[in-house]
């Protein structure tokens, strides 16, 4: 009986390893071994006086089942060895800033992991490939990656990854300049999150929708999305999302000229982003604080802070948000009679929005207001609203 108990415990560990590989529960293996163990105990109790080794057959069968699945694990590990090399290559390329090289390595790793039946790791590699494609400016290839990710996740029964793939497909569509398709993906992601009773999945999708409507010139609808997201019961389940919502709230308040509430929102969002070690999001928070500082009349220090934070390598989402804010700041600087600063902000917007088929025209509009952005309903001038400052206050603050 002790041998049967030990083998049953081994079956549980084997099932855990298999689940880590492909995401399936493998409860059938456990129940099979439990049934064999129960039979073995019954045989031992019934035949022990006459045949002390009566349960030996059952022990052998349980051991055979465990051994078979251990062989499966070993075979998977052997077939996945090339993937480990590709993942190491991807990490190196990513650290060096070679996002295109990282994307290629993640793609090859995903292929090897798929052939080794390591479904969980395969899906992660495909997702990373898509993100790196976006960072490298390969939005069309990123869209293909996320579509493939969603299809595989659906086939594997991974509904959470399937919902995330919808949101990331929306990101790719936005980078391609297709706002309507992007909205559709975000709504699908939000609906999937609701179906899964996951406020985190819903919140991420609503944050994307709110940001899109914000730059599309519909602040009221954007505020509705953010209010919905802020009222979700997220708690500490996803501090990264909490920090993101705080920073987006700060961007809204900048547009409304409410600096007294924009500053604490930006400070809180920056602090929370630092806690979760999201460098890109934390940098975005400092960029926002630089905007607030500038609009408060501290032109030199605020402008320097904006320039310093935008000099780093920002993730694609943070880069676009900072670029649109920089475009808005150029109009704010013009209204404050600071043409040199206005030109500097327009140049910064041009760099941060480069490569986007639509948002790049926002930067051109900031540099020359006579050029209208490709989004006809976008009013960059309304994205940042400075507090009116008397000439003597402005000069004293420089």
- pLDDT digits over 196-236, tens only? 999 999 999 999 998 888 776 677 788 889 889 888 887 77
For residues 241 and 269, give the distance between their C-alpha atoms in angstroms, rounded to a whole number. Answer: 10
Q: Which percentage of the chain shows pLDDT scores above 90? A: 40
For residues 215 and 22, give the distance between their C-alpha atoms in angstroms, rounded to a whole number. Answer: 41
> How much is the pTM?
0.78
- Tokens encoding 396: 């004293």
**358 pLDDT band (50/70/90 cuts)?**
confident
- pLDDT digits over 127-164, tens only? 999 999 999 999 999 999 999 999 999 998 999 999 99
Least confident of 107-111, 255-259, 347-351, 370-374: 370-374
Domain borders along the chain are 2-79
Q: What is the pLDDT of residue 213?
A: 82
Answer yes or no: is pLDDT of 122 > 80.
yes
């Amino acid at each position: 009986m002790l041998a049967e108990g030990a083998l049953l415990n081994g079956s549980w560990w084997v099932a855990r390893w298999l689940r880590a590989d492909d995401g399936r529960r493998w409860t059938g293996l456990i129940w099979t071994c439990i049934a064999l163990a129960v039979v073995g105990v019954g045989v031992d109790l019934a035949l022990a006086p006459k045949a002390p080794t009566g349960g030996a057959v059952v022990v052998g069968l349980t051991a055979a089942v465990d051994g078979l699945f251990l062989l499966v694990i070993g075979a998977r590990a052997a077939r996945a060895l090339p993937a480990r090399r590709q993942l190491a290559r991807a990490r190196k390329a990513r650290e060096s800033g070679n996002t295109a090289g990282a994307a290629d390595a993640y793609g090859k790793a995903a292929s090897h992991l798929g052939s080794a039946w390591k479904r969980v790791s395969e899906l992660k590699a495909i997702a990373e490939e898509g993100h790196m494609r976006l960072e490298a400016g390969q939005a069309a290839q990123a869209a293909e990656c996320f579509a493939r990710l969603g299809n595989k996740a659906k086939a594997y029964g991974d509904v959470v990854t399937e919902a995330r793939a919808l949101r990331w497909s929306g990101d790719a569509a936005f980078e391609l300049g297709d706002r309507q398709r992007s909205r559709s993906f975000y709504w699908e992601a939000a609906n999937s999150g609701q179906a899964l009773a996951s406020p985190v999945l819903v919140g991420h999708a609503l944050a994307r929708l709110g940001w899109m409507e914000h730059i599309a010139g519909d602040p009221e609808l954007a505020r509705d999305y953010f209010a919905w997201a802020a009222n979700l019961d997220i708690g500490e389940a996803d501090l990264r999302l909490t920090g993101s919502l705080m920073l987006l709230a700060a961007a809204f308040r900048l547009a409304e000229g409410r600096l007294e509430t924009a500053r604490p929102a930006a400070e809180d969002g920056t602090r929370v982003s630092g806690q979760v070690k999201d460098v890109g999001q934390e940098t975005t928070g400092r960029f926002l604080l630089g905007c607030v500082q500038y609009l408060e009349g501290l032109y030199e220090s605020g402008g320097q802070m904006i320039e310093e934070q935008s000099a780093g390598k920002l993730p694609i989402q943070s880069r676009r948000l900072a670029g649109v804010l920089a475009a808005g700041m150029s109009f704010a600087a013009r209204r404050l009679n600071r043409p040199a600063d206005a030109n500097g902000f327009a140049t910064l917007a041009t760099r941060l929005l480069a490569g986007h088929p639509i948002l790049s025209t926002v930067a051109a509009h900031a540099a020359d207001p006579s050029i209208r952005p490709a989004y006809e309903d976008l009013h960059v001038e309304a994205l940042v609203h400075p507090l009116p400052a008397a000439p003597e206050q402005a000069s004293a603050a420089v």
